[in-house]
């Protein structure tokens, strides 16, 4: 489909699924290299940020080949089409992360407020290592000091939906990524 309508807004196709899949292949290959030393006794923790990163995390799970545990949390700062600037915690970070290697899986990083909040919480939990893996990065907006270790794709500062991303909870199940048609 060239265009879709969600609620009161129209979106046009921006990134076809084939491009997304290739970018995920590349990130997964790097993760496999960097986490090859993981063992069943010392697995990595794949920490999926709900709800948007579910599809990205699922695609990573199909591609990575090192021992890992899947955990989830839900922190958010978006309402409608923009960030509120305030990070709220709906599902807290899981317990028992001390001494673990954690890979934060995000759908998109723009303001970086959520990533900063998560990494701060992980430091308090005394994790061994925390790295950030995001499907999308709005580089022109991201001005935080937290390093983004794995970035599948960089995009301009536009509002998008699809592949896990939503507009007021609609659009997550669309396999391509659509941009607001202004």
Q: How confident is the model at residue 86 (pLDDT cuts 50, 70, 90)?
A: confident
Q: How confident is the model at residue 79 (pLDDT cuts 50, 70, 90)?
A: low
Is pLDDT of 81 > 60?
A: no
Catalytic residue from among 107, 110, 166, 176: 110
Is 110 a known active-site residue?
A: yes
Q: How confident is the model at residue 127 (pLDDT cuts 50, 70, 90)?
A: very high
Is pLDDT of 31 > 90?
A: yes
Q: Are 163 and 152 in contact (CB under 8 A)?
A: no
Q: Which pLDDT value is given to residue 83?
A: 62
Highest mean pLDDT among 68-82, 85-99, 149-163: 149-163
Q: Are 110 and 138 in contact (CB under 8 A)?
A: yes
Summarised one tens digit per residue, pLDDT across range 32-63 is 999 999 999 999 999 999 999 999 999 999 99
Identify the CATH assignment for 19-155 out of 3.40.50.2020, 1.10.10.10, 1.10.150.110, 3.30.540.10: 3.40.50.2020
Higher-confidence residue of 145 and 94: namely: 145
Is pLDDT of 78 > 90?
A: no
What lies within 8 Å, CB to CB, of 169 at 6+ separation is: none
Summarised one tens digit per residue, pLDDT across range 132-181 is 999 999 999 999 999 999 999 999 999 999 999 999 999 999 999 999 99
């Amino acid at each position: 489909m060239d265009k879709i309508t969600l609620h009161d807004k129209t979106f046009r196709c921006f990134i076809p699924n084939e491009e997304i899949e290739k970018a995920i292949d590349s990130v997964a290959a790097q993760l496999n290299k960097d986490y090859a030393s993981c063992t069943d006794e010392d697995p990595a923790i794949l920490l999926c940020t709900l709800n948007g990163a579910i599809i990205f995390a699922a695609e990573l799970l199909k591609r990575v080949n090192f021992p890992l545990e899947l955990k989830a949390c839900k922190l958010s700062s978006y309402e409608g089409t923009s960030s509120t600037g305030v990070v709220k915690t709906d599902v807290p970070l899981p317990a028992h992360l001390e001494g673990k290697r954690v890979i934060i899986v995000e759908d998109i990083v723009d303001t970086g407020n959520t990533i900063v909040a998560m990494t701060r919480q992980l430091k308090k939990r005394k994790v061994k290592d925390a790295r950030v893996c995001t499907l999308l990065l709005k580089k022109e907006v991201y001005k935080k000091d937290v390093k983004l270790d794995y970035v599948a794709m960089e995009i301009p500062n536009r509002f998008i939906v699809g592949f896990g991303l939503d507009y007021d909870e609609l659009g997550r199940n669309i396999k391509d990524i659509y941009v607001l048609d202004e």
